[in-house]
Amino acid sequence: MVKQAKMSEEQQCQDGYTYRIRRMEPHDIHAVMMLDRLVFSDPWPESAYTQEIYFNPLACYFVLEFTQAMPHRRWPWKPRNNTLIGFAGMRIEQTRGHISTLAIHQDWRGMGFGELLLITALQQTMAMKASAVMLEVRPTNTPARNLYAKYRFIPIGRHTRYYQDGEDALLLEVPHLDADYAQQLAEYRQLVEKRIQERLSTQDPLSS
Ligand SMILES: CC(C)(COP(=O)(O)OP(=O)(O)OC[C@H]1O[C@@H](n2cnc3c(N)ncnc32)[C@H](O)[C@@H]1OP(=O)(O)O)[C@@H](O)C(=O)NCCC(=O)NCCS
């Protein structure tokens, strides 16, 4: 039985915004793939999600969704449905965690959601007793590299021509997942949740 890290409580903000992070379910795969295609030039095939969710007991995937009416002009036809705006995944490989994916819809970037999903994946990695965690990132991906640097990822290598367009991948790692790191994750989580609440409260969703 895989131990479950804390996920976000449903967060109720002013003006009816409510969001939560929960485990990705098979019925989410379609929406996740749509977002994956919007965000990445080399999105995963459905089989990759199916493999991870159905057949890999050492993998955990998360989605971030709004759970109430979203008065956003990009989704006026779906006012009452849940709206998935981000996802993240991790798996354990031997004793090391691997953050396998992370994405936020472009309309909702810069508010703390990417950080909150990364914290969730890192806390899950620690709950599953990994001693270290790694990931791949494009050298040109400044937002992601800054985010990972904030969480003490350091460069440990490079995969040549890793991505389909020929760009290399940098390998980043947090070499020691210890009590101090867990404490930092918990503190950052509180700060990020507060920041998101504040930003959602002041955001005019119809102006973006
Ligand atoms: C990377 C990504 C997930 C960040 O999500 P986000 O919700 O926009 O990021 P947050 O608002 O949580 O920001 C967290 C940190 O990321 C960094 N960051 C985010 N956006 C940034 C930007 N435009 N420029 C520089 N740094 C940025 C900062 O360090 C920031 O911390 P700070 O607010 O204390 O400065 C998002 O940009 C994304 O989905 N990008 C496309 C997919 C991708 O590249 N995924 C990673 C693959 S390895």
Quote the pLDDT of residue 73.
Answer: 52
The CATH class given to the 11-202 domain equals alpha beta
Quote the pLDDT of residue 201.
Answer: 76
pTM as predicted: 0.91
111 in contact with ligand 1, CB cutoff 6 A: yes
Q: What is the pLDDT of residues 21-74, one digit of tens each?
A: 999 999 999 999 999 999 999 999 999 999 999 999 999 999 999 886 555 555
Report DSSP letters for 46-74, one per residue: HHHHHIIIII-TTEEEEEEEE-S----TT
Quote the pLDDT of residue 202.
Answer: 73
144 in contact with ligand 1, CB cutoff 6 A: yes
Task: Give the C-alpha separation, 122 to 116, whole Å.
Answer: 10
Q: Which residue has the higher pLDDT, 162 or 204?
A: 162
**C-beta separation of 97 from 132 below 8 A:** yes
Q: Give yes or no for residue 113 having a pLDDT over 70.
A: yes
77 Cα–ligand 1 center, Å: 28
Quote the pLDDT of residue 77.
Answer: 46
134 in contact with ligand 1, CB cutoff 6 A: no
Burial letters 81-109, b for 16+ CB under 10 A, else e: ebbbbbbbbbbbeeebbbbbbbbbbeebe
Q: Which atom of ligand 1 is nearest to the CA of 138?
A: 48
